[in-house]
Every structure is written in C-alpha cells, then in structure tokens.
Amino acid sequence: MAAITNTYTRFDAKGVREDLSNVIYQISPEETPFMSNIGRENVSNTFFEWQTDDLAAASTTNAQIEGDDITSFTAVTATVRLGNYTQISRKDVIIAGTLEAVDKAGRRSELSYQMAKKSAEIKRDMCSTMLANQAATAGSTSAARKTAGLLAFLKTNTNEGTGGGDPSYTTIPDAARTDATTTNLRSFSEALLKDVIQKVWTEGGSPTIVMAGPVNKQNLSKMAGIASSRFNINGGAKPATLIGAADIYVSDFGNVSIVPNRFQRERDVFVLDPEYASVAYLRPFQTVELAKTGDAEKRMLLCEWGLKIKNEKAHGAVYDLNSTIQT
C-alpha cells in the first residue's frame, strides 16, 4: 500500500529534532591493577635512590665457650644502594573556542571531557610501562629519560624458558631482561607457579598477588589444585562455590589473590608483594595551560614519575609463556 496523495510525512518535514543521547558510551578499560595495588611516594630528583640489606644466613654453629673473648670481628656488610630514573609522561589537547561554546550532547565542556580522557590514557600508559621490559635510561638533550620497569629489576625469584635470561645489574637496572624466542615459549602450569611462590617465600617475601594477562588468568582458573583447595573463607560448614574461575590461590605459603591485568605481556605472570613497590612522583598529575596564540584553548597534562622496587627479592615472575588457553 502507499500513502494517500499529499500526505505530509517525516521525509518532507523540516526542523525535526534529532534524537541524540546525552550520554557518551565508551568501554575502553581504565583499570590499572598494578599501579592501583602498590604504594605512592614523592621524590625530589630525576634520579632517586634507596637502600636494601640482608641478614646473615642462619647458622647452626653459633655456640660459644663460656667466658670466651672476641679476638676477631666479623666484617660488616654494607647496604646495597639502588636507583631509578623518573620519566615524563604527557598528553595534550587543543579545542577551538567555537566548539567549547556550542551546545553539545553528552558533555557540557569539550575541554573538560577531553582532559578526563587524557588522564585515563596516561594512567594506562604508566601501568603498561611499569610491567614492560624497559631498562632505566638516564636520557639526554636528544633522548627522553626512561624509568626501569619491573622486569628490569627481577633477577632472583624467576622461572624462565630456554634462552631466557635475568638482567644483570648492581645499582641501576639499566639492562632489560632477555626474552626467550617464540619457539621456546611454554605453557603455564601450576608447577611453575609453585616454584616461584616458594622462591619468594624462601627469600623472605610474603606475596599476596599473582598478576596475569587474560589468557593465563583463565589458565590459572583451570589449575587442578585450585578447585580442591577452595574453602569457605567465612569459616562456615557450607563449602564455597567455584564458578568457572578462581580469585584466590591457596599456596603452601599463604593465600594469594589472582588479579587479571590487561596492560601486561601475556608471556609474563608476576608474583607480587605490593608493600615492596611504589610509584615515585617527582611531579604528580598536573594540568598546564599553554600560551593562547589563536582562537583555541590549549592544555597539557603531564606527570613525572618513576617505579621504585624496594627489594626485588619480595617479588617473582614466571616468564616465557605462550598465549594458548589450555583445555
């Protein structure tokens, strides 16, 4: 059938108001689990330092003769001085005056909306960098300073594939670790996880988090020991329900939370004690209003920061894993 002649329809009319939702929908992930779980502190220089120390090995021969005098003193071991650099992370935006003035759907101020986006983007960049295989770089007038990521620090409690190698440093983690080639990548297993948790505990650490990418988070949930180790945390007689995933792994050395992270490499799984890591800020997040040279508003959002791993022996990692979901 057809409309009667001269029926005035939507196709002929002018001035029909658009129906544009006043909400902007975006699902880009903003969670930064590593950065959110560790501490924060302020530093006063682009190169910041701290010290670590160890107790002497436990002895089974420390028995002395009654009334004996000390004629030879044990040498004192100096503390180890470590350091890292800060790096500058920034985002910029320029918004025309007209765009800021007109009525917009979903946001009153385009400038404020874009600056909020840039803030979330910098945090994602920071979290990715902290878990990247990045070495410390002093920088120069032609090269940016770079802060060492977690992988450049860890060298004691690791388990790596054939060809993989831990970084070698004394005071500054200025060399990245050596990744195994793709042909030597391995499947993630409970045995590998147990090995690293035991190493951390033996060194004196008390890990509370296992952090993995999306694939190995699923592989963690399928480990045989997880389902059989689930219990009612509230202490009741009713058994806990396991619904296709695991958020707590009950190890021989304590419970650890399993935390998925979109911003780390799939080939790495980290065993962490968050008390021994922090973000060091030389300049916390700040908005800088840039010089106005035309009919536009210019802003720069920046943060100058570095990663501080207070003692790398408090953490561990399983390296060189493939991206296969195990059946």
**Mean pLDDT, all residues of the chain:** 89
Which residues have C-beta within 8 Å of that of residue 19, sequence separation ≥ 6? none
Q: CATH for 33-50+80-318?
A: 3.90.1690
Residue 154 CB-density burial (10 A; 0-12 exposed, 13-18 middle, 19+ buried): buried
Q: pTM for this structure?
A: 0.86
Q: What is the pLDDT of residue 237?
A: 54
Q: Is residue 18 pLDDT above 80, yes or no?
A: no
Q: How far apart are the first and last CA of the chain?
A: 57
Q: In the predicted model, what is the mean pLDDT of residues 61-87? A: 94
Q: In the predicted model, what is the mean pLDDT of residues 308-326? A: 96
Residues in the chain: 327
Q: Is residue 228 pLDDT above 60, yes or no?
A: no
Q: Is residue 89 pLDDT above 80, yes or no?
A: yes
Which residues have C-beta within 8 Å of that of residue 11, sequence separation ≥ 6? none
| Token couple for 299 | 């802003």
Strands (E), 20-68: 39-42, 47-52
Q: Is residue 161 pLDDT above 90, yes or no?
A: yes
Q: Residue ranges per domain, the chain?
A: 33-50+80-318
Give the whole-angstrom CA distance, residue 65 versus residue 294. Answer: 86
- Residue type, position 37, single letter: N
Cα four-point dihedral sign 35, 214, 122, 126: positive
The strand order across the sheet containing 87-96 reads: 39-42, 277-289, 296-309, 87-96
Q: What is the pLDDT of residue 65?
A: 92
Give me Rg for the CA atoms of the chain: 27
